[in-house]
């Protein structure tokens, strides 16, 4: 296990030059899902969640303060950000500015390496990289825990991408002041022993989502009679998952992850109106995962707010699993990921 953590950030030391910082972060896939907020303003979740950070598809973000500018200038992949994407990034910068006691605008340039249209969310890696880069550029000295809290305010799942390998995001306390609640909800590394896992990612449909995960989780919490039972069972799943990770029991990790994900999708199917992300191609891949198990390969599926399937298996089996999944979804693309590093600051110019 790598015990990689971002270093404590120091205020920028540039003399004369506008402070700038660049950070890189990787996506994560939840094995115990985050689905439902109890506070939309502070991004406080209903339940704890737990994920594996990937070693593929990093996001690199540079934040440079622009003393003369009247507005933030944000590019994604070299193109100006617009609409909701721009609004969320500017709102996040406002939060950082408020903490830093600075009003200066910024130039933000973000490069995602997820293949275009791969249908994989980049908000986790995106807001983790933005949190690290913006905190450094605005001179906030934050440790990894505080950075995970900050990243949470951009996108809940981003809190987990601060850390490498496996991370848990605590829902935090449901009582007390807003400040106490905010402080109580952060991510931290989770110990795991002897696992050599891979996630085989089957992209079965690269199209845009019919409904955003943010809207879908709200609709589920508000209307699904299955939501509370799933949230309760997720607490038990998390405890079981921690124990399985410490034992290095890949079969148990996979079984728990699969049941937690299927339960989350059941809550959505019972929402009014129903939210259904799973497509016929998703089910075909799930059938192939079941067949792999019957053939003696430890392979377990998890799905997020979309039709794509991520298959947890041993690293040694990943090529075989990828071949079977590719056969089940020949119209899609398949990627193999291992456990990846936490978010980190890059040296400017180095
Ligand atoms: C997760 N997902 O745990 C879950 C499982 C999707 C399904 O985190 O509203 O983009 O920005 O906090 O983090 C997707 O939700 O939502 C997500 P916001 P986010 O990975």
- Measured distance CA(274)–CA(254) in Å, rounded: 27
- Neighbouring-strand partners of residue 310: 201, 302
- Measured distance CA(32)–CA(47) in Å, rounded: 9
Q: How far is the CA of 348 from the centre of ligand 1 (A)?
A: 31
Structure tokens at 196: 């050599």
Asked if 336 and 54 touch (Cβ cutoff 8 Å), the reply is no
Structure tokens at 48: 């704890």
How far are the Cα atoms of 2, 239, 310 from residue 341, in angstroms, in the given order? 8, 24, 19
Atom of ligand 1 nearest to the CA of 34: 3
- Measured distance CA(275)–CA(136) in Å, rounded: 39
Q: In the chain, where does the domain assigned CATH 3.30.230.10 lie?
A: 20-193
Pocket test for ligand 1, best of 41, 151, 156, 230 (most atoms within 8 A of CB): 156
Residue of the CA atom closest to atom 18 of ligand 1: 155
Pocket test for ligand 1, best of 25, 46, 123, 307 (most atoms within 8 A of CB): 123
Residue with tokens 């995960």: 213
Pocket of ligand 1 (CB under 6 A): 30, 33-35, 43, 49, 121, 123, 155-157, 213-214, 304-305
If 0-12 CB within 10 Å is exposed, 13-18 middle and 19+ buried, where does residue 303 land? buried
Residue of the CA atom closest to atom 14 of ligand 1: 213
User: How many CA within 13 A on the CB side of residue 252?
Assistant: 15
> b or e along 329-346 (b: 16 or more beta carbons within 10 Å of the residue's beta carbon)?
beebbbbbbbbbbbbbbb
Atom of ligand 1 nearest to the CA of 154: 11
Residue with tokens 């989770």: 190
Atom of ligand 1 nearest to the CA of 304: 7
- What pLDDT, on the 0 to 100 scale, is given for residue 166? 98
Sequence-separated (6 or more) residues with CB below 8 Å from residue 295 = none
CB atoms within 10 A of CB 279: 15
Q: In the chain, where does the domain assigned CATH 3.30.70.890 lie?
A: 197-337
Structure tokens at 349: 């110019």
- What pLDDT, on the 0 to 100 scale, is given for residue 238? 98
Parallel, antiparallel, or unpaired: how do β-strands 197-203 and 344-346 relate?
unpaired
Structure tokens at 344: 């980190």
Structural fold of domain 197-337: Alpha-Beta Plaits (3.30.70)
- What pLDDT, on the 0 to 100 scale, is given for residue 18? 67
SS3 state at 243: helix
Q: How far is the CA of 157 from the centre of ligand 1 (A)?
A: 5
- What pLDDT, on the 0 to 100 scale, is given for residue 1? 38
Q: What's the CATH code, domain 20-193?
A: 3.30.230.10
Residue of the CA atom closest to atom 8 of ligand 1: 157
Structure tokens at 73: 């200038």
Sequence-separated (6 or more) residues with CB below 8 Å from residue 350 = none
Q: How far is the CA of 34 from the centre of ligand 1 (A)?
A: 6
Expressed in percent and rounded to 5, the helix, strand and coil fractions of the chain are 40, 20, 40
Structure tokens at 42: 């502070």
- What's CA 28's distance to the chain center, in Å? 4
> b or e along 280-302 (b: 16 or more beta carbons within 10 Å of the residue's beta carbon)?
ebbebbbebbeebeeeebbbbbb
Considering only CA atoms, give the Rg of the chain: 20
The residue count of the chain comes to 350
User: How many CA within 13 A on the CB side of residue 247?
Assistant: 11
- What pLDDT, on the 0 to 100 scale, is given for residue 23? 98
- What's CA 252's distance to the chain center, in Å? 22
Pocket test for ligand 1, best of 209, 217, 220 (most atoms within 8 A of CB): 217
Which helix (H) or strand (E) segment holds residue 222: the answer is: helix 213-223
Q: Per-residue pLDDT tens, the chain, 350 aa: give them.
A: 344 444 444 444 434 556 999 999 999 999 999 999 999 999 999 999 999 999 999 999 999 999 999 999 999 999 999 999 999 999 999 999 999 999 999 999 999 998 765 667 789 999 999 999 999 999 999 999 999 999 999 999 999 999 999 999 999 997 889 999 999 999 999 999 999 999 999 999 877 778 999 999 999 999 999 999 999 999 999 999 999 999 999 999 999 999 999 999 999 999 999 999 999 999 999 999 999 999 999 999 999 999 999 999 999 999 999 999 999 999 999 999 999 999 999 976 54
pTM of this prediction? 0.94
DSSP string, 275-289: -----HHHHHHHHHH
Pocket test for ligand 1, best of 47, 59, 87, 304 (most atoms within 8 A of CB): 304
């Amino acid at each position: 296990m790598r015990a990689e953590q971002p270093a404590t950030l120091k205020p920028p030391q540039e003399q004369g030059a506008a402070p700038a910082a660049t950070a890189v972060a990787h996506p994560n896939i939840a094995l115990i899902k985050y689905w439902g907020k109890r506070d939309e303003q502070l991004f406080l979740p209903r339940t704890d969640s737990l994920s594996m950070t990937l070693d593929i598809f990093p996001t690199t973000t540079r934040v440079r303060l622009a003393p003369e500018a009247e507005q933030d200038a944000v590019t994604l992949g070299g193109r100006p950000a617009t609409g909701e994407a721009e609004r969320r990034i500017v709102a996040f910068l406002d939060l950082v500015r408020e903490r830093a006691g600075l009003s200066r605008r910024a130039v933000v340039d973000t490069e995602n390496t997820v293949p275009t249209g791969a249908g994989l969310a980049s908000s986790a890696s995106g807001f983790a990289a933005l949190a690290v880069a913006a905190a450094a550029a605005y001179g906030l000295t934050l440790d990894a825990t505080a950075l995970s809290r900050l990243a949470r305010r951009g996108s809940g799942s981003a809190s987990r991408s601060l850390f490498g390998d496996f991370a848990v995001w605590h829902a935090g306390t449901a009582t007390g002041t807003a400040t106490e609640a905010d402080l109580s909800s952060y991510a931290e590394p989770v110990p795991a022993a002897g696992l050599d896992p891979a996630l085989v990612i089957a992209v079965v449909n690269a199209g845009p989502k019919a409904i955003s995960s943010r809207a879908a989780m709200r609709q589920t919490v508000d209307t699904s009679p299955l939501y509370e039972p799933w949230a309760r069972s997720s607490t038990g799943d998390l405890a079981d998952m921690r124990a399985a990770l410490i034992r290095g029991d890949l079969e148990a990790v996979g079984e728990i992850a699969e049941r937690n994900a299927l339960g989350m999708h059941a809550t959505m199917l019972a929402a009014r109106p129903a939210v259904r992300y799973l497509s016929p191609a998703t089910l075909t891949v799930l059938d192939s995962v079941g067949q792999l198990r019957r053939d003696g390969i430890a392979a377990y599926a998890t799905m997020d707010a979309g039709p794509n399937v991520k298959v947890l298996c041993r690293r040694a089996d990943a090529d075989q699993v990828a071949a079977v999944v590719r056969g089940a979804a020949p119209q899609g693309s398949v990627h193999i990921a291992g456990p990846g590093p936490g978010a980190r600051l890059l040296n400017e110019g180095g």
